[in-house]
Structure 1
């Protein structure tokens, strides 16, 4: 039944659909205008329009491949199905996800990210906003909405408060499970690191960097991971920009690096390759390098796993949850060895 709704949505577009097939959470379409993807979205109409403006501009310049949204025959970017779901059709590419265990593909993904950042840095030209007179808290511009990222120091402090809340909760549990014993046993070491990162960031140039990025309206992808990088015959294609917002651009590089390094046991050669490949196209400033290092230093996976457990149903303990916490703790020494060698960061 759901498939029928989606096929009805496709009839709203001026394209001839030759065949369709399901892929993860979406509908893959072979059309007379090339490969396209129909996907549910939570975007508002204004956000969808801004996304179109950004991606169509990138597509016209031709330096990076992106999944530009497609208009319906009625000039709409979003279509509601009979069941009430909202869909967006966008251009797509024949390819596969980036393999983050292949260093060559990681290098191409990092360089492509740098090229994307160069194109997105001067966002005011096509977003309708002016560079002057826009503050860090002003999230709107004519013709669209540019959400602004959260203050990174405030985010770390919020995470630290939550870690303490989880510890208080676990301590109060009478019958503790394997996850809770492991969390309490590792908390002291991991929380000291979390507090040390917050202190270093407070006395760093990261807050100034954040303020400057907001003032310039620098845009980031917002979810730059291997799932959203397609390796095609013509080179990488970057997809799924729904989380695009104003922020420090090195945040995208942090996310790519962290996800890759967790899979590669914080191998120093791999991390250095990612940073070097990025800098072949766009040099990082000293403040960006500092920000990147401090973001990587924060025990993000440990906090995220603890937070997920705290907000879950405690009556059932997924084995995967325990394994994630063990991995976060086990990789700590490997990570800080990498950070010391690559960035000279010692907490």
Structure 2
């Protein structure tokens, strides 16, 4: 099923055809139907998209070799994911359904994102303080709120003094693209050895691609892997080195990764989910998630200090 608009489907098609034209063929490019359309509709309601697919296995984050190859694959993709340099011929592009200039959307500014999360954390605290019958979740949240909120504020202030603003503006202006959901579920390890200069991975599900600071893809994959490996320093360092071998970091990019990692996002996410749940009782799973978020935040800070020589 295709949960995308006709316009988004066209943008996706252009991106993936470009990657193929630049020698990166292992992507799930949509296949047009007999009417030359990218999306087919069943009985006027359900929408479908046919894609290329590959025989292989999902990237296994327990295998360090898989993780490092996935990071190299991401660096190769970032080198050619620039909207301004797309080389798809006009004959390959179906008519724009809206008659508008085609351009991918831009990602949310990190300062705006952090400030919004900070306000939501304070809103949850106010709600819990006024709640008469508090349970384990509420007491746990109040116990750790001050330390988590202060960390969130320090990260936000540090972001303002970083090179992020310049990186963000440059990324939008030059049309630098991110996958938007680069995780092991979207990576298929292909059988056989990697070809010279090519990839041994099929990268799929680009539906969330947009213009943004490209190392945010690396942050997301790094965080997902590190959560599985309890923030193992040697693996984290190896991941950054593997990426830089192909696409060296520009000034300020490592700090952006460190700041995005340092923000207590899981604490915010768990609290925000609680606030909008409207449940009379809080599942034990929510308490476990909050405890995990606090523990992982402490592990993350130690990891950042060791890997990035970065303190808040």
With normalisation by structure 2, the TM-score equals 0.90
- The DSSP-based 3-state class of the residue aligned with 1:176 is coil
Q: Is residue 163 of structure 2 the alignment partner of residue 205 of structure 1?
A: yes
**CA distance 1:318–1:85, change in 2 (3 Å):** farther
- Residue in 1 that maps onto 2:2: 41
Change (3 A) 1:151 1:104: same
How many residues were matched structurally? 296
Measure how far apart 1:60 and its partner are. 2.7
Residue in structure 2 matched with residue 306 of structure 1 by the alignment: 271
Q: 1:81 aligns with which of 22, 36, 42?
A: 42
Q: Which runs of 5+ in 2 are unaligned?
A: 89-97, 193-199
Superposed displacement of residue 332, structure 1: 2.3
Deviates more, 1:217-226 or 1:62-71: 62-71
Aligned with residue 178 of structure 1, among 136, 147, 152: 136
Cα RMSD, aligned residues only: 1.8
1:142 Cα offset (Å): 5.6
Which one of the candidate residues 175, 189, 194 is aligned to 1:231? 189
Alpha-carbon distance in 2 for matches of 1:231, 1:78: 27
Quick one: higher RCO (CA 8 Å, sep 6+), 1 or 2?
Answer: 2
| SS of residue paired to 2:49 | strand
**Aligned residue runs from structure 1 range 95-174, under 5 A:** 95-121=56-82, 123-126=83-86, 144-174=102-132
User: Which 4+ stretches in 1 moved above 4 angstroms?
Assistant: 140-143
Name the CA shift for 1:251/1:64 in 2 (closer, same or farther; >3 Å): farther
Post-superposition offset of 1:325: 1.1
Q: Give the alignment's TM-score, normalised by structure 1.
A: 0.82
Give CA deviations for 1:239-278 in whole Å, capped at 9, x if unaligned. 1000000000011001001111112111111211211111
- CA deviations on 1:38-66 (whole Å, 9 max, x unpaired) are xx222111211111111012123223621
Tell me the equivalent position of 1:195: 153
- CA 1:191/1:185 → structure 2, altered by over 3 Å: closer, same or farther? same
Establish whether residue 241 from structure 1 lines up as the match of residue 206 from structure 2: yes
Question: Per residue, is there more strand in 1 or in 2?
Answer: 1
Separation in 1, partners of 2:108, 2:271: 21
